[in-house]
Amino acid sequence: MSSNTFWNEGPNPDWVPGQGATDDEWKNHKKIAIDPFESGRTRLHNYRLLSSAITPRPIGFISTITPEGVPNLAPFSYFNVICADPPLFSVSFSGDRNKDSLNGILHSGELTINVISEWFVDAANATAVAAPPDADEWVLSGLTPSPSEKVKPAHVAESGFSVEAKLVDSKTYYSRDKPGVVSGVVVTVEAVNFHVREDLLEDEEKMFVDTGKLKPIGRLGKNSYTSVNNGYNLKVYNYEKDFPDV
């Protein structure tokens, strides 16, 4: 059963079709246009703007093995699921950071993706440290590696939901601010196995995870995070029934 204390009434239960926004504060402020490539604007300006505006972002807590055989564990918030059939995910790596995780994926073609929950967010955050290549983030965090079935990288035992995945493709992007410099690499990976904690499943068909119990963490701007600790359902509209006068 879903967690009853998690679900609440939506913010605007009396909203009707055609009503528009329920708060007029937006009318009191103009929007400012920002050219991402205007003079003096750098990659850092755009990164900070996007990271604080596109929120909350899901975090892919990624386990890999470097070409040298060192286990690696790190969180990435430029990440998401992008398809269900086949089950695909995308992860974006900065051109000047996170080389251990990226190199591990490109070398072996394997990784695991783990959902971060409240009960180990501090441990997961510790793995974001700029550690030397031979450092073991499993040890730094105190988290528990659990053997995977179809890939070599371990998944996080403490995570309520983990994905074993294999590389599909990668694409390199180059800086507009500094032409010729690699600014990012986006990899697409396909899930080959799921691991879910049994008490988090809502149904026998293994279709729904109880978000209230999973307590996932989202990424905000700066060094800020948020807990997903409440939710609400919105009406699913029928065009003929609910919009007869349109």
Does some domain include residue 209? yes
- The mean pLDDT of 119-142, rounded to a whole number, is 95
DSSP state, residue 84: E
Q: What is the pLDDT of residues 3-19, one digit of tens each?
A: 667 888 899 999 999 99
DSSP state, residue 31: P
Does some domain include residue 12? no
What's the rounded Cα separation, in Å, for the pair 49 and 66?
32
Cβ neighbours of residue 165 closer than 8 Å, sequence gap 6 or more: 89, 110, 111, 112, 113, 151, 189, 190, 191, 192
Does some domain include residue 173? yes
Domain that holds residue 137: 39-242
- The mean pLDDT of 63-79, rounded to a whole number, is 95
pLDDT at residue 54, rounded to an integer: 97
Does some domain include residue 223? yes
Does some domain include residue 33? no
What's the rounded Cα separation, in Å, for the pair 115 and 90?
14
Give strand ranges (E) for the chain: 57-58, 60-65, 71-76, 79-84, 87-94, 110-115, 145-146, 155-156, 161-174, 182-196, 217-219, 225-227
Does some domain include residue 2? no
Residue 225: closest CA among 216, 212, 234: 216
**Is the model more confident about 134 or about 39?**
39
Q: Has residue 20 got a pLDDT over 60? A: yes
What's the rounded Cα separation, in Å, for the pair 105 and 64?
7
pTM above 0.75, yes or no: yes
Q: What is the pLDDT of residues 152-202, one digit of tens each?
A: 999 999 999 999 999 999 999 999 888 999 999 999 999 999 999 999 999
Does some domain include residue 163? yes
Q: Has residue 1 got a pLDDT over 60? A: no
Q: How many folded domains does the chain comprise?
A: 1
Cis previous bond, 86, omega within 30? yes
Confidence of residue 2 (pLDDT cuts 50, 70, 90): low
Does some domain include residue 216? yes
pLDDT at residue 177, rounded to an integer: 84
What's the rounded Cα separation, in Å, for the pair 135 and 127?
10
Tallying the residues shown for the chain, one arrives at: 246
CATH of the domain at 96: 2.30.110.10
Q: Has residue 220 got a pLDDT over 80? A: yes
Confidence of residue 98 (pLDDT cuts 50, 70, 90): low
